[in-house]
Structure 1
C-alpha cells in the first residue's frame, strides 16, 4: 500500500492507522453475545436482531452497543450517516476528496489506490472487531461512517459539537441496491428472492430498518440543528453534483476559493469520485473489503442511478411501498420519492 503520512489539519485514510502495529486490535467483542442471543431474530438476507426498535445485523450489533457505551465524539469529528445502499460509498469519496484536496494532489490522491471504505472507517464494524483503539488513534479531524439510527447514536454525539451529514435515497432504489449487494457478496449472507426481500422491507424487518424510522430520526435532527446536521438526498446529488459538493465543502468548513472554482477543482473532484472513475480503478476490481462480511470492492459500484427499482418492481409493488413510506413520513415534511412523480 502507498504511504499517506498524517498531514496537519486534514483527515488521513483509516487504512494508515489500521495497519499500524502500535495500535493493535483487541479480540472480537463477546461481552454482548448472551444478551444478543435473547433478542428477536430475523434470518432474512442478513441475519439480524431487533435492538431498541431497529433490526441490526448480528455481526455489527456488538459494535453498535459498544459505541453506545464507550464512544464519545470529538468536536471536530465529521460523521457520514446513511441507511445502507443510499450513496454511502460515493459520499465517503466526495467528502474525503474535498477535505484533503490541499494535502493530496488529485493526480496522486489516496482514492486512486484505496477504496473509499478504506479511507473512512465504518465504526460499528471497527468496534465489533476490537479496533476501538484504532478509531481513537485517528488524528483529528476524523471522518467516520455509521449506519446507526439517530436514537442509537445520539448519546455518543450529544454535546460534542460534531458535524453530521446524512444521505437519503428513494427507499425503492435503496432496497433494490441492497438486494443486489447481498446476492453477490459475503458467504455469511443469505441469497433470497427479491419478492421475499420486498416483503421484509415493507414490514420494516430489514437490516437497519425500518427505513422510515431511520430517515425520520435524522431528518428531524437536521431540522432542529441545521448548522450541525446536513440532510442530503442522493437524487439531488446525482442531478447537481457540482453544486452539492460546494455545499458539502461549506458545511464541513473548507469552502472552495474563487480561484479553485475558476480552475475547475470542484469538477475534478466530481470526476475523481464518479462511478465511472471508481469502477475503472484496479483497487476496485481485484481487492476485497470487510472483516465481518467480506465484499468484493467491485460490489460497491453497480449502477448508482435513479429509478432502477422499475426493473425489479411491478407498478403495484411500487405503489404499495410508496403508500407505506408516505404514511410513515406523513407530516414530517420529508417527501419526493413517489413512483408517480
Structure 2
C-alpha cells in the first residue's frame, strides 16, 4: 500500500512489461495481396537503386556535368538510395514472413536512419532550389556564389543538422516506456505511430517535434517558395528562351510537390484527423515512390543527363 502510494510498484510493473519488439502490420493482412505487393515493391526498389546509381555514375563520368547543379543531383540520388534502403528491405521481408516483427533496437535504428535521411532530403531540396535561383536570376555570379566549396558546405549542413535533430528525436522517443500493445499499423517505425503506443508522458517529444518541424519542413519549404517566386518573376521578363529557362526548374518543382506535400500531410495534421490506414499509404509516396521518381523525372527533362546516361550504358 505504502509502495503503491509513491508509485514504486507502478514503475516496477512498467519496467517489467516494457516491450522488446514491435509487430509491423504492413500495408495489408491478406496473404495474397502481400505476395502481390512484394513483387511490386521489389520492382520499385530495384528501379530506384538502378536509376539513382546510373545517375550518379553518369554525372561522375561526364565532365560537362561537373557543376553545382549536378553535384546536388548526384547527392540527392545517393541520399535516395540510402533512404529507401533503410525501409524497403525490411518491408519486403515482412511481406513474406508470418511474424512481421522488428526488435526494439532494430526499430530504433530504422527510426533514426529513416528520419535523418528524410530530413536531409528536405534541406537538400531547399538548397537545390537556391541553386536554380542563382543560376536563373543572377547567372553572371553563379560560378562565384555556387562554387565547389559552397555546394559542399550546403550538403554538409543538410546532413549534419538532420543527424543532430534525428539523434535527439530518437533518444527521446526510445527512452519512453512501451508497456502495452506493440503492434504498429504501418510498414516501418515512424514517429507518430510510436508515440501512440507509448504509455509514458510524451510531452517532451512533442515539444522537440514542434521545435524541429520548422527546421526540417517549414524553413526549407519557405526557402523553396521564395526562390521560385523570384525565378518565376525573372523568367516572365525573359523574351527569349523563357521555356528553356523554366524547364530546368520544373523537374525540381515536381519532386518538391510530391515529397513535401505527403510529408507535411503526415506530420502537420491535427491529431483528430489522423487515421493509421491513410498514414501508411501516404508514407509510401515520400519513402518509396519519390526516390524512384527522382532519377526518372530529372533525366526525362534534361538532355545533358540523357546523353550522359546513353554514353554510360554504351560504354
* Normalised TM-score (structure 1): 0.24
Give the structure with higher Rg (CA). 2
* Normalised TM-score (structure 2): 0.26
Richer in helix (by share): 2
Richer in strand (by share): 1
> Of the two structures, which has the highest relative contact order with CA contacts closer than 8 Å and spacing of 6 or more?
2
